[in-house]
C-alpha cells in the first residue's frame, strides 16, 4: 500500500472525529498517519504543506453532512 493510500485510509477513519473537532469545516493536511492541521481554504493548506517541505501529502476537505 502506498503512503497516499495510508493517508486516505487514516482520513477516512478519522473523518467523524475531525468533523466533530472542526465543525466549521476546512482542509486537513495529513502526512503519513498524522494530522498536521486544518486550514480554512485549500490554498492555505497547500501552502502550509509546502512550508513544511512535504513532497507528498494529503489535503482533504472536512464537511458536515
pLDDT at position 65 over 60: no
Nearest alpha-carbon partner for 58 in 35, 24, 41: 35
For residue range 17-60, what is the model confidence (pLDDT) as tens digits? 988 998 888 888 888 888 888 988 888 988 888 877 765 555 66
Cβ contact 26:14 at 8 Å: no
pLDDT of residue 56: 53
The helix (H) or strand (E) run that includes residue 39 is: strand 34-39
Look up residue 16 and give its three cell numbers: 467523524
Cβ contact 39:50 at 8 Å: no
Q: How far apart, in whole angstroms, are the C-alpha atoms of residue 53 and residue 29?
A: 13
Write down the pTM of the prediction: 0.73
Amino acid at each position: 500500500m502506498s503512503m497516499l493510500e495510508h493517508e486516505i485510509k487514516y482520513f477516512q477513519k478519522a473523518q467523524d472525529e475531525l468533523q466533530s473537532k472542526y465543525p466549521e469545516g476546512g482542509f486537513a493536511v495529513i502526512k503519513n498517519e498524522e494530522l498536521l492541521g486544518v486550514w480554512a481554504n485549500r490554498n492555505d493548506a497547500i501552502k502550509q504543506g509546502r512550508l513544511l517541505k512535504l513532497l507528498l501529502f494529503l489535503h482533504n476537505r472536512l464537511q458536515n453532512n
